[in-house]
């Protein structure tokens, strides 16, 4: 993905989204994707953060609210990250902390995903965490963790769709596959809604992201 060129892939993504939804959200898996990148990992992270916050600023403005940007956006390595209350940072993770209203992410882990799976992973993970920041501001409450997580996936899809529709974000061939593959790779192995750490299966996460991408925030 790149922010320096006009949007080109909206139709391609929408086609894939519609295909996923119409076929019961089968898992999209990426075998290989060798292509040249114009943006660095750091640039993609910065762009994903900036455009996601701008998307939500406008969304809140349209509804008569004021969006509150996160207080901090913290890269860390392994276990050397910020705590959220009594919960320490762990490797291979990204999280939103409502206590400090900040987002933190294991930079080494996210960069490895960026290298192995494509830059689409950054445009799933970062908007997903901002989705949790939005839930905190809206005081969204669910009984089950999986409901919060799937809504954050939906918000991520809506945010990315908004970025593309505005022309602020362009994409390269294969990005649509990267987005859904990233969600598939992060899916739970079983459909256990009562698991307090459940995020949703690959199919559920893809479906939620697709719903947001296709229909916007109101679908979430």
- For 2-61, how does the pLDDT look when each residue is reduced to its tens digit (9 = 90+)? 443 323 333 334 333 433 332 233 222 233 233 334 689 999 999 999 999 999 999 999
Return d(Cα 19, Cα 183) in angstroms, integer.
16
Q: For residue 5, tell me if it sits in a domain.
A: no
Q: For residue 202, tell me if it sits in a domain.
A: yes
Q: For residue 212, tell me if it sits in a domain.
A: yes
- For 116-137, how does the pLDDT look when each residue is reduced to its tens digit (9 = 90+)? 888 888 999 999 999 999 999 9
Q: For residue 99, tell me if it sits in a domain.
A: yes
What is the Cα 60 distance to its own chain's centre? 19
CB under 8 Å to 46, separation ≥6 — which residues? Answer: none
Q: Please tell me the predicted confidence (pLDDT) of residue 173.
A: 63
Grouping H, G, I as helix, E, B as strand and the rest as coil, residue 75 is strand
Model's pTM, two decimal places? 0.80
Q: For residue 192, tell me if it sits in a domain.
A: yes
Q: For residue 130, tell me if it sits in a domain.
A: yes
Domain region containing 196 = 10-22+37-219
CB under 8 Å to 38, separation ≥6 — which residues? Answer: 2, 4
| Block residue for tokens 């769709």 | 161
Q: For residue 1, tell me if it sits in a domain.
A: no
Q: For residue 207, tell me if it sits in a domain.
A: yes
Return d(Cα 152, Cα 116) in angstroms, integer.
24
Return d(Cα 183, Cα 173) in angstroms, integer.
18
Overall number of domains in the chain: 1
């Amino acid at each position: 993905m790149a922010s320096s060129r006009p949007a080109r892939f909206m139709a391609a993504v929408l086609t894939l989204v519609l295909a996923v939804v119409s076929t019961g959200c089968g898992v999209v898996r990426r075998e290989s994707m060798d292509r040249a990148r114009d943006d660095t990992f750091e640039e993609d992270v910065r762009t994903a953060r900036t455009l996601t916050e701008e998307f939500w600023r406008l969304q809140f403005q349209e509804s008569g609210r004021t969006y509150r940007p996160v207080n901090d956006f913290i890269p860390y390595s392994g276990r050397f990250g910020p705590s959220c209350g009594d919960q320490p940072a762990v490797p291979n993770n990204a999280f939103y902390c409502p206590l400090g209203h900040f987002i933190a992410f294991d930079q080494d882990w996210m960069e490895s995903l960026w290298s192995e799976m494509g830059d689409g992973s950054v445009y799933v993970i970062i908007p997903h965490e901002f989705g949790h920041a939005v839930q905190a501001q809206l005081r969204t409450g669910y009984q089950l963790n999986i409901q919060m997580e799937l809504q954050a996936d939906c918000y991520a899809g809506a945010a990315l769709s908004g970025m593309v529709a505005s022309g602020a974000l362009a994409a390269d061939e294969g990005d649509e596959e990267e987005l859904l593959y990233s969600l598939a790779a992060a899916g739970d192995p079983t459909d256990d809604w009562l698991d307090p750490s459940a995020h949703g299966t690959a199919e559920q996460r893809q479906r939620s992201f697709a719903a947001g991408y296709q229909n916007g925030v109101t679908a979430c």
